[in-house]
Chains A and B, each alone.
Chain A
Amino acid sequence: MSIFVDKNTRLLVQGITGREGQFHTRQCVAYGTRVIAGVTPGKGGQKMDNIPVFHTVKAAVDQTGANCSMIFVPPPFAADAIMEAADAKINLIVAITEGIPVLDMMRVKNDLAGKPSRLIGPNCPGIITPGECKVGIMPSPIHQPGGPIGVVSRSGTLTYEVVHQLSREGIGQTTCIGIGGDPICGTNFIECLDAFEKDPETSGIVLVGEIGGTSEEEASEFIAQNMTKPVVGFIAGLTAPPGRRMGHAGAIISGRSGTATGKIAVMKKSGIHVCEDLGGFGRFCTTVFKDA
């Protein structure tokens, strides 16, 4: 088992003919993901490798039955692309694009509120169920199929680091999700935690957070009240200065809120096993997850 993506995922790629779109589509195909359609307005009727390209998401869904979309559309047009996918009733939308204006994402989030589509990202590496399906840009070989650990993170390469250390210790993953480094993200920590809690194959969860916002604090409260499975946490940004945007648009300490120290304290209080030394993350997990 896994969450959100598996062997039955039928993937469509928005922005499939761009440089990034082409490169990562091929990587996903090589991993075994069923990529069945692409969308680039103006290039309908063409093919990218053997994948048919459509002008609109609606046409692609009508003709191929795609149920998941991965978005590589540039920032000025990305919000529109997400809402187009939701309008075409795509179940799962994974937005890789970095740099979407926050107000655009706020409108998207409020538009999606009444719709059944789930959005992951933007500004994220995507989602992978090792051995079954990859919808994203993460390096495939670091993952180990078969579970039993679920990974959810606001970061990209930091997630690769964590997953790499898990695999090196022989700990496999059910599903790994990057929820994105922007202030507004489609799916939050809590929704992923809830899905992992309900997934019978997942027996423990790794949560990777960073400075800025309050999503780790909200996740902690959820964990304390609703989770039976052990959670290992990590927070990046203990040495980050206040008021500076640390690469990710969402990674900023505003006044006194959003600090790493504050988050770690709340997480520990909620029973999360917080690892404070990234160098020993894998070993830390073997101890916590030994009975999991």
Chain B
Amino acid sequence: MKIHEYQAKKLFKKYGIPIPDGDVASTVDGAKQIANKLSGFPVVLKAQIHAGGRGKGGGVKLATSMDEAVQFADQIIGMTLVTDQTGPGGQKVKKILVEKGLNISEELYLGITLDRSNAKIVVMASKAGGMDIETVAEESPAKIIKVYINPLLGILPFHCRNIAFGLQLPLSVMKSFYEILTNLYRLFVDYDCSLLEINPLVITKEETMMALDAKINFDDNALFRHQEIVDYRDLDEEDPLEVEASKHNLNYINLDGNVGNMVNGAGLAMATMDIIKLAGAEPANFLDVGGGANEEMVEIGLKIILSDKNVKGILINIFGGILRCDVLAKGVVEAARKTDINVPVVVRMEGTNVDEGRRILSESRFNLTTAVDLKDAAQRVAKLATKDSD
């Protein structure tokens, strides 16, 4: 799960990680009041959306007077911000963060994430702050310092020293850097983060350190023990169909293609998307109904797929294990009865109670095509979907 910069900075504040003075507003007037309270200019106005690349897209502005601040706030609030990460549709800006401008002497990168192969927590730091860290990692990996931490031991003083001296930090900021890093690590572990980034972490001309930006992603599996974070969820940042699906414990991701699909199991669902593409069509979604799906979930899944107007055909691919084929078939027939399915549906079933499932489908009066195997299913649905669009 992702949160906004201003929310991440609230957590930073709670953990004693220094951030610039400022606050968040959702109106121009609110932004003006915050700018008033900050002693003097410049102030920085930052659009609050989850996607990165806000600066390049025109979502971050430096104002040197109140007139400018008001003008920029008016531009940013309500704008549809398009960045490298939002997709072409962009994201509507509802909130703006107004902060005091700083005298920056140096920009650093500091991040914490999980290293899957080593099962360790990894701290990454670089003098190339303010840049896209992936580009730095690719072009000059030597510029990134990495320290691996055993989660059973936690962060140790030598970890901090290796990073601080690796960054060649001036001695005047050493103490505050150790505090920032240790507190950041505590925050990471306390809240089950999956990624925590300060880019840039700045050294000011006054020789203080401050987190100019804040990005935190959380492990979805651990949200059950962090209600505080769940409350930060911003549904406006999510696809409405995906929000609807998540209410019913369905794992759905909306994509741009024309063939909808419903599968049990994530791996098979991805492979089904791939085979739709191989057959000459494009997948319209990812939908894993899970191993324990019941008739109702199958029905809701179909309804969600059908509410995507790009869908010209549907492929249902179920390998019956725990989810029996007869249960699936009943769900499909029930959905067909209640909803107006106006696109061709191809069903491919295998596994537990497959004969009973096929019988239920063939005895229904709905236009449901049964496929013999996966290849046959993908080819049939691709053909039906393309024919329909002609």
Contact = CB atoms under 8 A, between A and B. Distances in A.
Interface of A: 23, 75-76, 99-107, 109-111, 125, 137-139, 142, 153-161, 164, 181, 183-184, 208, 210-211, 213-215, 218, 234, 236-241, 243-251, 255-256, 260, 276-280
Interface string B211-241: 0000000011110110000000000000000
B220 A75 contact: no
Contacts of B321: 125, 137-139, 156-157, 160
Nearest to B132: A255
A158 B267 contact: yes
A240 B291 contact: no
Interface in B143-169: 150-152
Nearest to A240: B270
Given A160-B319, A184-B119, A247-B251, A236 B114 contact: no
A237 B271 CA distance: 6
Interface string B309-331: 00000000001111000000000
Q: 9 tightest CB-CB pairs across the interface, nearest first?
A: A247-B266, A155-B267, A279-B375, A157-B265, A158-B267, A101-B222, A109-B119, A236-B270, A157-B268
20 contacts: A103-B192, A110-B152, A125-B321, A139-B351, A156-B291, A157-B263, A161-B319, A184-B116, A184-B119, A214-B117, A236-B267, A237-B271, A237-B273, A239-B276, A239-B282, A240-B273, A246-B266, A247-B251, A247-B270, A248-B267
B375 to A, nearest CB: 3
B271 A158 contact: yes
Contacts of B291: 137, 156-157
B93 interface: no
B221 A102 contact: yes
B119 A156 contact: no
B198 interface: no
Given A251-B270, A279-B378, 8 more contacts: A23-B322, A101-B219, A110-B151, A125-B321, A139-B320, A240-B270, A277-B375, A278-B275
A106 B271 contact: no
Of A100, A184, A239, most B-chain CB atoms within 10 Å: A239
Contacts of B224: 75-76
Contact of A102 (B219, B225, B265, B319): B219
Contacts of A142: 351
Contacts of A244: 253, 286
Nearest to A178: B267
A238 B267 contact: no
Given A106-B114, A181-B266, A215-B117, A278 B274 contact: yes
A211 B269 CA distance: 12
B116 A101 contact: no
B194 interface: yes
B134 A159 contact: no
A156 B352 contact: no
Interface residues of B, number: 56
A236 B274 contact: yes
Nearest to B119: A109
B147 to A, nearest CB: 15
A58 B204 CA distance: 58
Contact of A246 (B264, B269, B376): B269
Contacts of A164: 319, 350-351
A251 B268 CA distance: 12
Interface in B333-368: 350-352
Given A103-B222, A111-B152, A256-B134, A250 B116 contact: yes
A246 to B, nearest CB: 5
Given A241-B253, A278-B274, A218 B117 contact: yes
Given A103-B219, A279-B275, A155 B378 contact: no
Contacts of B35: none
B5 interface: no
Contacts of A103: 114, 151, 189, 192, 219, 222
Of B222, B263, B268, B288, most A-chain CB atoms within 10 Å: B268
B67 interface: no
A158 B266 CA distance: 8
Contacts of B255: 239, 241
Contacts of B206: none
A251 B266 contact: yes
A286 to B, nearest CB: 15
Contacts of A155: 265-268
A160 B283 CA distance: 22
Contacts of A245: 220
A161 B265 CA distance: 11
A107 B378 contact: no
B197 to A, nearest CB: 12
B271 A278 contact: yes
Of A106, A137, A243, most B-chain CB atoms within 10 Å: A106
Given A103-B189, A161-B374, A279-B378, A210 B270 contact: yes
A213 B117 contact: yes
B278 interface: yes
B121 interface: yes
Interface string B45-89: 000000000000000000000000000000000000000010000
Contacts of B273: 237, 239-240
Contacts of A159: 267
A106 B375 CA distance: 39
Contact of B116 (A183, A240, A256): A183
Contacts of A160: 268, 319, 321, 351
Nearest to B264: A157
B139 interface: no
Nearest to B226: A101
A138 B351 CA distance: 10
A184 B221 CA distance: 13
B6 to A, nearest CB: 21
A142 to B, nearest CB: 7
B277 interface: yes
